Amino acid sequence: MTAPFRQQDLEETVRVDTRLTVPGMRCAGCIAKIERGLAEIEGIDAARVNFSAKRVAVRHSPGLDQGDLVEALRHLGFEAQALADNPLGTDDKESKALLRALAVAGFGMMNIMLLSVSVWSGAGGVTRDLFHWLSAIIALPVVAYSGRPFFASAWMALRYGRTNMDVPISIGVLLATGLSVYETIEGEGHAYFDSAVMLLFFLLAGRALDATMRTKTRAGIGALLSKMGKSARVLGHDGTTAQVDAADLQPGMVMIVASGNALAADGVVEKGRGSLDNSMLTGESDPERVAEGSVVHAGAIALSGPLEVRVTAASSDTVLAEIARLMDEAGQSRSRYTRIADRASSLYAPAVHSLALLAFIGWMVAGAGWYQSLVIAIAVLIITCPCAMGLAVPAAQVVTSGALIKRGLLVKDGSALERLAEIDIAIFDKTGTLTLGEPQADVSSLPEVERQVALALARTSRHPLSRSLSDALQHEGTRPAEVDDIVEVEGQGLAGTWQGVPVSLGRPVEETTGMSSLLRIGCEETMIAFADGLRADAGETLAKLAEQGISSRILSGDRKGPVEAVAQALDVEATAEAKPQDKLAMLESLRSQGLKVLMIGDGINDGPALAAAHASIAPGSASDVSQQAADAVFTGKALMPVALAVAHARRCMAIVRQNFGLAVVYNICAVPLALAGVVTPLIAAIAMSGSSLIVVGNSLRLARIRE
């Protein structure tokens, strides 16, 4: 039996969860402001901030959509982007599984160590046997559970005929556990359960640190094609319209695009005039005017309309999809990069194995008997086991990325730091990277009356110039004048009446260089100029990079004029009007000269270059696609984090090399002892934890940041 209910009841009870990423939150004040500000809005039940991931989870009624939430956050003073369906899910699971394994290993280690200490301090006979049995009961399930990440990875490597760091670890742990079980059953003197479990604990600590770093900073990366319109209103033959999914659009269909909509396919305008925001695609911040016959691309957002667009290419044939494909191919080359830990282990693992084998053979030849030879070989395996090696890289990288987050740079994973440390040339995109990417209104010379009228008009429009003008005026504390009957004439601008006088804000009659708006009050005319200003510290950043021996260049998809102006101001080489393919070709030619390129860019058109470069950084205002392709994302208006990132990555790698040095020194001291057969479980335990602690301590030095 079904209970009867009305549609209204359903709407009242149904709640939707939306997750947004807000990179700009910095302090407790931001948390409070966001959570309270959102909760006050009609239709929102609750908002919960996750500060580590810079995310907000909002529970709201289905009446609100993502755009409304982003707009609400903009009013609170935060840039926000909707997050695609949990792109972090799998990573989250991995780091949680590692943490659980770490906790189990920690539990086992502590209890076995308690029992072992009693044995070392002289417990004998029945008590010792009892303690060994107890250790075995604890250690076997712990090794089985906590060792899985290593066993699985070692098995994978062996199946494909390779070795990695996990192979000696797995062999060491399994042999030590097996031998200890044998000794326990036979009632012999030595058991190595403590060493085996402690080894797992320290190595898992390294793995967990590594995973934590990746999950913590990968937040805010949306799905690739989320910027493309998901559906379109299509005009049928009989004049009716129907909503069609982007995937079902066919060339020849006519889409009706209202202002504010994103285009779902490439096409040609058949009817209507308007302007498009193409900045996501080309990086060009000036809105593009379109009329009948103009070619338009998926991903562009209509600022005014409506337009009738005949589809020429849909779904996987669009320019946007083509860029996505280029990016995918470009990214392949980078995934072949071998991380420093893997390179170290490919040298280390065979050395350790041969050493242990030699120890076994040597003692056999010396006539020690197979049992004692095996014990010594295992001691060699365990004591050389890369405890400190396993921690050397993640510990340094976690500390560095933590320090960089405080400076406004999110590094996505450890290999990004390794690659950042190696670069020797930096290539910048212009719009949105060297510049702020949004037109800044110059209101300094505007008289007070004009300001008030301009604000009253500008705040009613969604046009980027109007938005920028009203932001600039509000920032200066201007109060809007009382303007009535405001209408927005598409392609022309805004008009209204103020104290009986007709006023308007719109495009200047004659074409001028650069962006500008014309404000008319009665018959008085005032020009308001807009400029896409350089980031304040752009010059300083390039100087700092040069100091580190990194030359800079500009590679932009923009027109020649503005690019050359910026290049002249910063005194660097520049290339303008480059298509995504041209950018890739340039990277390829630099690579063939043996240079390692750092790419810094923000538009969708930079995506392939970002994916192909040796290392890449995108600003927080960049498109989802670019943020996803880049290794690191910087938030805020300063460009300096780019130079800092390189400096810190280099320091991080210096510390990593020191850590490896320390681990090698430790092995040089410990291995002869093990080979000589004098390593007791106590010595092994002390040596192992000592070396790990030294490595962690050394890495913590990175937390102190020098400017």
Summarize as ranges the residues that interact with another protein (CB under 8 A): 27-29, 31-32, 36, 49-53, 96, 99-100, 103-104, 107, 110-111, 114, 127, 130, 134, 138
CB of 99: closest distance to another protein in angstroms? 6
| Cα–Cα distance, 377 to 679 (Å, whole number) | 11
**Residue among 109 and 169 whose Cβ is closer to another protein:** 109
Q: List active site positions.
A: 429
Least spacing, CB of residue 111 vs another protein, in Å: 6
Cβ distance to another protein smaller for residue 137 or 665: 137
CA–CA gap between residue 210 and residue 272 (Å, rounded): 54
SS3 per-residue string spanning 46-100: EEEEECCCCEEEEEECCCCCHHHHHHHHHHCCCCCEECCCCCCHHHHHHHHHHHH
Please report how close the Cβ of residue 88 comes to another protein at its closest, in angstroms: 11
Tell me the two tokens of residue 74.
């903009």
Give the whole-angstrom CA distance, residue 365 versus residue 374. Answer: 13
Does residue 504 contact residue 520 with C-beta atoms inside 8 Å? yes
127 or 316, CB closer to another protein? Answer: 127
**Alpha-carbon span 345 to 425, nearest angstrom:** 29
Q: Which two tokens stand for residue 360?
A: 């076994």
Crossing angle (nearest 10°) for helices 193-217 and 89-120: 160
Closest separation in Å from C-beta 226 to another protein: 24
Peptide bond into 306 cis (omega under 30): yes
- Integer Cα distance of 83 and 56 in angstroms: 10
Torsion of CA 443, 446, 447, 452, to 10 degrees: -50
For residue 618, the minimal CB distance to another protein (Å) is 23
Q: Can you spell out the DSSP letters for 259-276? A: TTPBPSSEEEEEE--EEE
Q: Which is nearer to another protein, 36 or 230 (by Cβ)?
A: 36
- Of 290, 336, 298, nearest in space to 317 by CA: 298
For another protein, the closer of residues 2 and 121 by Cβ is 121
Number of H helices, E strands in the chain: 23, 26
Give the residue with the Cβ less far from another protein, 138 or 434: 138
Shortest distance, CB of residue 38 to another protein, whole angstroms?
14
Q: CB–CB of 550/455 below 8 Å?
A: no
CB nearer another protein, residue 93 or residue 560: 93
End-to-end CA distance of the chain: 70
CB of 126 to another protein, least distance (A): 8
If the CB atoms of residues 127 and 492 are measured against another protein, the closer one turns out to be 127
- Cα(332)–Cα(251) distance, integer angstroms: 31
Is-contact 307 274, C-beta < 8 A? yes
Contact between 338 and 654 (Cβ < 8 Å): no
> In whole angstroms, how far apart are CA 146 and each of 77, 106, 155, 608?
46, 10, 15, 40
Going edge to edge, which strands form the sheet with 288-290?
A: 288-290, 274-277, 301-302
Q: By C-beta, is 149 or 439 nearer to another protein?
A: 149
Smallest distance, Å, CB 135 to another protein? 11
Give the separation between CA 501 and CA 497, rounded to whole angstroms. Answer: 5
CB 11 within 8 A of CB 63: yes
Residue 209 CA, distance from chain mean position: 17
Q: How far is the CB of 171 from another protein (least distance, A)?
A: 28
Q: Which is nearer to another protein, 32 or 258 (CB)?
A: 32
Shortest Cβ distance from residue 46 to another protein (Å)?
13
Evaluate the CA torsion angle 628, 632, 634, 638 in order and state its sign. Answer: negative
